[in-house]
Amino acid sequence: MKHKDVDEFEKLSGQVQSIYEELSVLSKKSPNDAVNKFKLNFINKLLNNSNEFLSEKYRPFEDFSEFDTDDIPQNSDVVLILSQYLQCFEKLRADNVEFQSGKWHWVVDAERDETGDELGKVYIRTTCPKRLRE
C-alpha cells in the first residue's frame, strides 16, 4: 500500500461505518422502512467508490455494485450490505498492518523523492486488527 491508499482507506471505511451506524439505529426501529432516495444516492456513490478501492480481491460480492434506485431497499437490507463492506475493509487492513515496537502500523511502500531515490519506510499508526481483539 501507499500512503495515499491508507488515507483513502480511512476516509471510505469511516464513511461506511458512519452510515452503517446511523442506519442500524433506524433498522432496529423500522427494519422494513424504505431508505429515501436522497440517502440512497449517497450510499450508492460510497459503494461504488468502495468497490473501486477494494478491487476484486476484497469486494464482498462480485455481482453486487450498488442498490437499484427504482427498487428502493429497506433499512435492514442496507445495513446487511454495509456490514459486509465493513468486514472486507477490515480484512484489507488486517492484511496490511504489522506489530512493531509495541504498536500496530500500516505496511506502507517506501516513499521516493522527485529524483526517484528511496526516502525510507513510512510508518502510520493504526489499531489492532479486529480478529486479534476478540
Sheet of 118-126, strands arranged across: 97-100, 103-112, 118-126
- Reading the block at residue 28, the C-alpha cell is 432496529
Q: Please answer whether residues 94 and 71 qualify as being in contact, where contact means their C-beta atoms are separated by less than 8 angstroms.
A: no
pLDDT reported for residue 75: 95
DSSP-assigned letter for residue 112: E
Q: Round to whole Å and give the CA distance between 70 and 19.
A: 21
Q: Please answer whether residues 126 and 106 qualify as being in contact, where contact means their C-beta atoms are separated by less than 8 angstroms.
A: yes
CA end-to-end distance (rounded Å), the chain: 26
* Model confidence, pTM: 0.88
pLDDT reported for residue 127: 84
The values of phi and psi at residue 103, to 5°, are -140, 155
pLDDT reported for residue 61: 95
Ranges of residues in the chain with a pLDDT under 50 are none
